[in-house]
Each structure stands twice: as structure tokens, then as C-alpha cells.
Structure 1
Amino acid sequence: MGGRRTPLILASGSPRRKALLEALGYPLRLQPPGVGEEGLDLPPKALAQALARRKGEGVKGLWVLAADTVVDLDGKVLGKPKDREENRHFLRLLSGRDHLVHTALYLRTPLDLVEEVHTAKVRFRPLSEEEILWYVHSGEGLDKAGGYGAQGLGMALVERVEGDFYTVVGLPVSRVFALLWERGFRP
């Protein structure tokens, strides 16, 4: 590819997604789309896809990647908690239980448009009230779907992940890499 370094436009403000793509060596430009996540009353998987699409369509560029992650507990969306009390409530709900994490991709290239949803199953170990308070007071879960981050302190809460761990983190990296590679976009 020589000197050509067309950037991948990441339609996101997520530091986690940015770090994952930078770790692979992609030329990257962050362009948070400035679109809201409200106003959609959809089942969790469809909501993730609609939000990823809304983000991707909100930015211009040749190579645009957007993603959205939704936590699904028995068909109910657990979004980003509005405050510490809601974060605590979410963790109580998740304690000792399985839930699904859906991460949707929207990839627009000069060749085509790809939209996919990837799902992983996560099991939390049973949590004591003291452990829940410890995590809530860390503040880590406040900006994350479901109120936790599996890649940070939240790793202490997760007992098992079935599927791609990076889907839980918010970007199925292996799949994104394959999609870009197949289309000639190299890190």
C-alpha cells in the first residue's frame, strides 16, 4: 500500500474501541457521530444494530466503522446506568446469572456496506453486596452498557464468557480485522 494511509473513520468516542484498533496498527480517525441513543423501542439485538447504523450513517468517509453494544438480560436492555444507584441495581440483577451481550457492526467501505450483530453469553458469579458496592464506587461501570466493563475491574465479576470476549468489550476484533482485510484495507 506504500504511502497511502487512508484512515479508518471510527464513528465512536469509545476509548476501548479506539485502543483495540490502534493495537492492530490501523490508521485511525475518531469522529464521534453526535447522534442520540434514545427514541428506539426495539428488542436488544435489533437495538444494537439500529444504534450502530445510526452512528455509522452520522459520519462521512470512505472507510467508516461504527459499533454499538447492548446488554440483554432476559430480553430486557440494560443500558448505561444513569447513576450509581442504577449501576448497583444492574449488578444485583446480573449477579449469579447469565446474560447476552450483543455488539453490532456497521462497516461502510468504497465497495459495500456490512451490518452484523455478534453475541456472546456472559455469566456473572454470585456477588455480595460489599463487592457490588466496591465496583459501583470505582465508577468504572457508569459509561458502559450493563454497568460493567469486562476488560477492567469488572473482570472480577465475570465467571465465564461463551463466545468472543471482544464482543463483550465492545468490538469483535477478529471479525472486524477479517472484514477489512477481505476488502483490501490493511493496518
Structure 2
Amino acid sequence: MLYLASQSPRRRQLLEQLGADFVVIDVEVPEQREPGESPQDYVSRVALEKARAGLKALGGATDARVLGADTEVVLDDEVFGKPRDAEDAVVMLRRLSSKTHAVISAVWLVEANRERSEISVSQVRFATLDDATIAAYVATGEPFGKAGAYAIQGRGASLIEHLDGSYSGVMGLPVFETARLLRGFDAWP
């Protein structure tokens, strides 16, 4: 049985897009970068901790496979999490304006005796954003709950000048890499 250890509706949607049969389980994992930890190592560790927490919540069931994922926006080695409030969203969007940043998405699939991962790194270039554009976007409420304060699948797409990489990875679950993991576990056609 496949489980998704995520509260993200976008991850559920992308996994459904693959046609995978799965059950959602909610897990709480602290998302705090360790001193000296690279952004990619941080994202991968959090995704792995989510998957392991899901497996533990299931009592280590021998037939359980748990998918854990994490996605973060990174600019100049700084990880942009989710904005705390509107002011924080404005600050993030100003910093991303007219710059290229990385979006790192890590996916781990774990079962009782096996763990494997995939990483997707995309480059996203924002257009130059004026204060009015940023204020209007923040006012939509869309930036909240989103790494880097934007959603590529929503109105945030209008802020993006160029994408080099995985659209679904920027959304929160790289579909190609996830399908490859599932095939490796015989959990998908």
C-alpha cells in the first residue's frame, strides 16, 4: 500500500495525476536547517524525515510504502521557507524580483527495508516586480503556505519570466522523478 506523508493538496493532485492509488497520512516534522547544512541536503533530509515519520505512524507495516517530499526556494544559499505574514511575503518577493533562484524538490520512498530518493533542481527567473505588482499578488492570499511566497500553478505564474527544469517540481512534487521511484519499488506501472 502506498501512503503520502504530506498535507499539501498540490502533492496529492500531482500523485493523482500519475494514477497512483494512495492514502494520505499527516505527519509533523520540524523544518529547521542545521548549521552548515547545504540547501539540497536540508531539503532531502526533511523529505526523508517525513517519509520515515509516516512509516513509523503506520507501525512499520511490512506492506507499507511511504512517500515523503519537500520543496524549497533557494537564493544565494539562503532557503526561503513559507512566509510568516504579508510583510514577510513582500520581503521575499522583492528579493526574488529580477533574479534567478533554485527550487529544490526532494522525494523519498521508504518501506521497512528499503529507502530511495530523487532530487529535482529547477532554475526560476522572476521578472522585475514593482511594489504595486507585489502588493496586488500578496493581497490575493496565494503566497501563504508556499515556499518563496509564490505558486507557479496559480497567479504566481505571471511573475515568472523563465523556468529551466521541472514545472511539477516547482509545484512541490517532481512527477518524472516520483514515477521513477515508484517504478523502482514496483508501486506503479
- For normalisation by structure 2, the TM-score amounts to 0.90
1:77 maps onto 2:71 in alignment: no
Shift, 1:115, TM fit = 2.1
For 2:51 and 2:15, how far apart are their aligned partners in 1?
A: 16
Q: Deviations over 1:58-98 (max 9, x none)?
A: 11252110000111101111110100000000000001110
For 2:187 and 2:52, how far apart are their aligned partners in 1?
A: 20
For 1:119 and 1:52, how far apart are their aligned partners in 2?
A: 14
Which amino acid is 1:45 matched to? Q
Match of 1:9, SS state, is strand
Aligned to 1:24, which of 3, 11, 18? 18
Aligned alpha-carbon RMSD (Å): 1.5
Instruction: Tell me which residue corresponds to 1:40.
Output: 34
1:185 maps onto 2:187 in alignment: yes
Match of 1:10, SS state, is strand
For 1:153 and 1:106, how far apart are their aligned partners in 2?
A: 29
Is the CA contact 1:44–1:75 (under 8 Å) kept in the aligned structure 2? yes
Is the CA contact 1:48–1:117 (under 8 Å) kept in the aligned structure 2? no
Shift, 1:126, TM fit = 0.6
Instruction: Tell me which residue corresponds to 1:3.
Output: none
Aligned to 2:46, which of 27, 32, 51? 51
Cα distance change of structure 1 residues 59 and 179 upon mapping to structure 2, 3 Å threshold: same
Identity of aligned residues (%): 38
For 2:145 and 2:21, how far apart are their aligned partners in 1?
A: 26
Q: Deviations over 1:7-63 (max 9, x none)?
A: x20010000000111122211111121222136343211110111111111112521
Match of 1:140, SS state, is coil
Match of 1:151, SS state, is coil
Shift, 1:124, TM fit = 0.3
Which one is further off, 72-81 or 177-186?
177-186
Instruction: Tell me which residue corresponds to 2:134.
Output: 132
For 1:15 and 1:149, how far apart are their aligned partners in 2?
A: 12
Match of 1:59, SS state, is helix
- For normalisation by structure 1, the TM-score amounts to 0.91
Which one is further off, 95-104 or 57-66?
57-66
Which amino acid is 1:66 matched to? G
Runs of 4+ in 1 over 6 A off after TM superposition: none
Cα distance change of structure 1 residues 39 and 179 upon mapping to structure 2, 3 Å threshold: closer
For 2:108 and 2:101, how far apart are their aligned partners in 1?
A: 23
Which one is further off, 155-164 or 20-29?
20-29
Instruction: Tell me which residue corresponds to 2:58.
Output: none
Gaps of 5+ in 1: 1-5
Aligned to 2:167, which of 165, 168, 172? 165
